[in-house]
A and B are shown apart, each in its own frame.
Chain A
Amino acid sequence: ETGVTQTPRHLVMGMTNKKSLKCEQHLGHNAMYWYKQSAKKPLELMFVYNFKEQTENNSVPSRFSPECPNSSHLFLHLHTLQPEDSALYLCASSRRVRNQPQHFGDGTRLSIL
């Protein structure tokens, strides 16, 4: 039990589909993050939320749309994805933005057909 729960664990979708990834944390943290992890590449930060406000968008394509309704929940809405978007998407949280340590979920393994 990592304290950060992501669903679904696996997702296969076509390029024209719309789906959402969900992240939930029960650690009382105020900052939440989305990362992309591709094979043989470093973790790439996508979005950062601090107290529900988006504080960072690392030049992520608009086909990825984050949503943070409260400090405990984070979503990543997906639409018209490309094959190169296939990766492991990790959610993390921390007490404050940019704070150590970050607590990660197990991720969603996304495959785009």
Chain B
Amino acid sequence: GQSLEQPSEVTAVEGAIVQINCTYQTSGFYGLSWYQQHDGGAPTFLSYNGLDGLEETGRFSSFLSRSDSYGYLLLQELQMKDSASYFCAVRPRGGQNFVFGPGTRLSVLP
């Protein structure tokens, strides 16, 4: 089967850097994605890692290491508006659809 693990909550202050980890147990997958969801809102796509390494998009970066079954989302120069839940997701090989992690609730404090 496939399962992903994330910390349930992370707290940081404005301007700081925070890393949200995602570890997974799956036999094979196409890539690791990250989504952001504000309270009462829709999940929105942030990034995708199809290959190992770092992908950078503005203040957000995402990393994947298949050999370590591990990925993370890095948020820099935190802003209050970054307070939200963050989900990692994989699309396992074998014709199955996306499997989402349980989500990490990030609280950014002034």
Query: How many chain A residues touch B (Cβ–Cβ < 8 Å)?
Result: 22
Mark interface residues in A79-113 (1 if CB within 8 Å of B CB, else 0): 00000000000101000011011111111000000
Mark interface residues in B1-45 (1 if CB within 8 Å of A CB, else 0): 000100010000000000000000000000101010000111111
A43 touches B42 (CB 8 A): no
Taking the nearest CB of chain B, how far is it from the CB of A55, in angstroms? 9
B97 touches A4 (CB 8 A): no
Given A56-B97, A100-B48, the answer on whether A40 and B102 have CB atoms closer than 8 Å is yes
Query: How many chain B residues touch A (Cβ–Cβ < 8 Å)?
Result: 23
B91 touches A42 (CB 8 A): no
B70 interface hit (Cβ, 8 Å): no
Q: In the complex, what distance in Å separates the CA atom of A102 from the CA atom of B91?
A: 12
Q: Which residues in B have some Cβ–Cβ distance to A below 8 Å?
A: 4, 8, 31, 33, 35, 40-45, 48, 87, 89, 91, 95, 97-103
